[in-house]
Structure 1
Amino acid sequence: MAADRTRADSLRWMAQGSKTFAAALAALPDDRLDQPTALAGWTGKHLLAHVAANADALVNLAHWARTGEETPMYSSPQQRDRDIDAGARRPVAELRAWATLSSETLQARLAELDEQQWRRQVRTAQGRTVPANEIPWMRAREVMVHAVDLGAGLGFDDLPADFLAALLDDIVAKRSAAGDGPALTLAATDHPGSWAVSGVGDATRVTATLAGLTAYLSGRPALAVSRTGDEPVPELPRWL
């Protein structure tokens, strides 16, 4: 967990993000969920199934934290993908109800954890071993970013600035650890922070608002992102 990101922060962002996602979803008519999203190969129903299944998967980690019984998020990456595809074929009303119930269940299960259980080590879908303290952050990230992906008119600039800064820290750390993309230096026009991404070649300086930088680093379309010179900003490998 980042030194300046507390569990209280993550729980607050998870609650805010859950409300933001629910509001964005409520704004979409059922037929819009059959349409493609900005995520390649996914309709709105795929996205909704993913967000609902993610909450169920994090409930598994909450159970692991509470009982000590190893309970993976998913039985396998392949099963995760099959579950999303199957979920996307369910009626929209069922998907909406699933998304609501799974979100409420996750919040209830996390509220049951005591301090010792919050510190218990669990394993993410990517195979990282982390304390259960990370579960609210993992969920906040999902609901905030995917609220934008739903295409209901919400943008990264509608998300809380402190969440965006924490998300940018998180993505920078992951991309730097992977080291498979271009080296970057990032400067926000509306925030005092600056970031450096370790990677291939000489670092390219990229400038944008905090929201623009976060959208760019997460692989989403970003407005008003610029670099020194006339060339476009570098393309990035997949984030998650």
Structure 2
Amino acid sequence: MRSRQNERVQRIPVETPGGLYSRWFVAITALFVTTLIASNIVAVKIVDVWGLYVPAGTVTVFPLSYIFGDVLTEVYGYRRARLVIWLGFACNLLAVMAFTATQYLPAAPFWDAQAAYERILGYTPRLLAASFLAYLVGEFANAAVLSRLKIWTHGRLLWVRTIGSTLVGQGLDSLVFVTVAFIGTMAGADLVRTIVTAWLVKSAYEAVATPFTYLVVNALKRAEGIDTYDYGVSLSPFRLD
């Protein structure tokens, strides 16, 4: 039975007959990258959510990247999700390089917003390292767990798979980011509280968005005519086949 499924999955086209990615794949990829870059910009604002203080990106756009990541893995498989994760990393790096280069360009004499620009878009090396590392660890963990859960559940219980993979991915993301960015600058208890708060808020976002995830996944599977199972696919983040 597995060999027949594996053979069927390997024949699934993830590209159009002309060799180009489908418009739906490109659209989801664009949304994924956009939410990723936007989340890093809005994260400089700390917001009050029912008495919990978290970066704005935590409750606005960043969790959407995990939802779009779930859609990519569920519909197109781990290999395509892996490609998009690296693409998102490259685009985010390019955006940061552009922000930084612009920061050091000489300002016009009449322009008095340099301090405001640096406050919003002037990333410190430590925060950059924390953000990039947490992104890679969290996104790859999310995609890998979802990929394997799909095989183990025979494609059933999508809500369990998306929420379960998000709990792992967002947990690792929060752990890595807060630890790398803030260890040594706050008490241990505050560090743990910040990690747990960010994890729970982002995971709750995924749970609330589950009906939306079902809607998009089912629509894409019908439109593309595919439903990918990653039999025999390596989960190494460093393979781009």
Q: What TM-score do the two structures reach when normalised by structure 1? A: 0.29
Higher relative contact order (CA 8 A, sep 6+): 2
The structure that has the greater radius of gyration is: 2
Question: Which has more helix, going by share of residues?
Answer: 2
